[in-house]
Amino acid sequence: MADNFLLSMTGISKHFGGVQALENVDFEVNKSEIVSVVGENGAGKSTLMKVLLGINHPDTGEIVFKGDVVKISAPQIALDMGIAMIHQEISLIPDRTIAENIWLGREPMSFGFINWKKLYENTEFLFEKMKIKLNPKTIVRNLNVAQMQMVEIVRAISYNSKIIIMDEPTSALTDVEVKQLFGYIRDLKNKGVSIIYITHKLEEVFEIAERVVILRDGKRVGSSVIKEITKERLISLMVGRELKNIFPKEFFPIGEVVLEAKNLTRHNVFKNISFSVKSGEILGIAGLMGAGRTEVMRALFAVDKLDDGEILLNGKKVHFNTPKQAIKKGFGMVMEDRKKFGLVSCRSLMENISLANYSRYNKGPFIKRKTEVKLCKDMIEKVSIKAYSYKQRADSLSGGNQQKVVVAKWLMTQPKVMILDEPTRGIDVGAKREIFRIMTQLAKMGMAIIMISSELPEILGMSDRIIVMREGELCGEIDRKNATQESVMTLAFGGKN
């Protein structure tokens, strides 16, 4: 069987630390086939592609390409074999020409110098073959995003690629540009190139793909010719896992509305987002990556500018220009990217926990050392950070404990509204449970909590109410009682509820 495929990967497993990213996954691609790989965030799609590209090395498994067993140990080897990837982010050098970008590092040379004439001729030859109407001498900065994507594709082709992997290629494209891109993809297929198309947008899967492979929790859970599967079936395959009960959710009466957001808008990012959170309530925000959830919360916390909309805190209108003002009014936000926005890694636990609190506990310019140490020690105990000293550098802690440091920092500000953006990303199950336990305690004390999570079980397990976002808009609200994985996912993927 295997030798009928252009590429077949069998029994691929890969783990990172304690996390099994891929478990015994099979994957195959025919010649001139457009195959789509779908799955939730963290299902293992990118890891599988990274194995194919030689970026990650599998623990076990075999890759057969054109009938030969191959070992792809580095990205260069994958390229030489004819496997190229077009990443979600554009990776072109904006101030160089199209042709220079395509042949970067492989410029045709004569006598030790770049042969510019040949460089442009080669590019024009490729453009003709692909029926692309662009001047190879155009500076990349002056292209639109779709055209940049085309340049990326041409670059991939220029390696004589047999397989081109595309990761969410349409995320920055307009509808017209998407049509254009799909045209190119079909052209490629007709020229004998295979495409692996990775996307969250199921409509695209049904429009462009011939076959779909579904991953869930690092395992392959299904595969089908596209004509023989329905959208509903696809979603249920993607999410159909059992809820493990790691959620220490407790129920108690929920209080008054604390925060009300009305028509929050940031141009071209999100629009008309309205929601409210009550005291003691955990509001879950679900959605796919890039749905705009983080962006809404960042704007609410005045990290980014809000173009329009109102924020009411305890019924009173508030407006913030800086995070400092938001903190003063009783907001706290555990940001998504711990390394970038949460921790000052090179400083101590104590300095990190105190960071948002110096003005609160010290009236003048000086710091009361004793108070600081005492407050921090209490906090370390309260959120049970495993450390041998409050003087320990933050980056010497495990991911879970680092996250607890960030949580502790915000707890100390005694916020009325706590925003947690992906609070459990990259931490182990034990630490996750701890974070949930803290959340429950806070809710019990009357805090209003907003949690963004891309892991559905978390959203379902912890939230009292769930709102779902898609492509910068609010697309639904579900009560805890009525929430199921399917109902949330259907909304997130843009189906009718």
The sheet that has 68-70: what strands, in order across it? Answer: 19-29, 7-16, 60-65, 68-70
2 touching another protein, by CB under 8 A: no
Query: Under 8 Å CB-to-CB from 155, ≥6 apart: which residues?
Result: 84, 101, 102
Nearest CB to another protein, comparing residues 46 and 348: 348
- Applying CB under 8 A, the span of 120-128, 283-291, 332-340, 463-471 interacting with another protein comes to 332-340
Query: Under 8 Å CB-to-CB from 484, ≥6 apart: which residues?
Result: 460
347 touching another protein, by CB under 8 A: yes
296 touching another protein, by CB under 8 A: no
- Applying CB under 8 A, the span of 19-27, 83-91, 231-239, 317-325 interacting with another protein comes to 317-325
Alpha-carbon span 363 to 204, nearest angstrom: 58
Q: How far is CA 249 from the centre of its chain?
A: 26
16 touching another protein, by CB under 8 A: no
How does strand 194-198 pair with strand 211-216?
unpaired
Give the residue among 139, 138, 208, 126 at the shortest CA–CA distance from 173: 208
Q: Which tokens hold the place of 497?
A: 């509820």
Strand partners, 22: 14
Nearest CB to another protein, comparing residues 178 and 387: 387
Q: Which tokens hold the place of 134?
A: 């662009």
201 touching another protein, by CB under 8 A: no
How does strand 19-29 pair with strand 113-114?
unpaired
Binding residue for another protein, selected from 40, 295, 351, 422, defined by CB under 8 A:
351
CB of 123 to another protein, least distance (A): 36
Q: How far is CA 218 from the centre of its chain?
A: 16
Alpha-carbon span 57 to 50, nearest angstrom: 8
What DSSP line would sit under 420-434, residue for residue? EESTTTT--HHHHHH
**What is the helix (H) or strand (E) element at residue 234, kind and residue range?**
helix 231-239
Binding residue for another protein, selected from 135, 272, 389, 497, defined by CB under 8 A:
389
How wide is the angle at C-alpha 43 spanned by C-alphas 41 and 44, nearest 5°? Answer: 115
335 touching another protein, by CB under 8 A: yes
303 touching another protein, by CB under 8 A: yes
Binding residue for another protein, selected from 110, 321, 322, 371, defined by CB under 8 A:
322
388 touching another protein, by CB under 8 A: yes
Distances (CA, A) of 473 to 38, 264, 453: 22, 10, 17
Alpha-carbon span 216 to 58, nearest angstrom: 18
CB of 353 to another protein, least distance (A): 10
CB of 484 to another protein, least distance (A): 34
CB of 342 to another protein, least distance (A): 6
Binding residue for another protein, selected from 116, 182, 206, 341, defined by CB under 8 A:
341
Per-residue interface string for the shown chain with another protein, residues 408-437, x marking contact by CB under 8 A? -x----------------------------
Interacting positions 354-373 with another protein (CB under 8 A): 354-356, 358-359, 362, 365-367, 369
Rg (Cα) of the chain, in Å, rounded? 25
Binding residue for another protein, selected from 54, 342, 423, 472, defined by CB under 8 A:
342
113 touching another protein, by CB under 8 A: no
- Applying CB under 8 A, the span of 31-39, 77-85, 196-204, 385-393 interacting with another protein comes to 385-393
Site residues (vs another protein, CB under 8 A): 18, 301, 303, 322-324, 326-328, 333, 335, 340-347, 351, 354-356, 358-359, 362, 365-367, 369, 388-389, 392-393, 395-396, 409
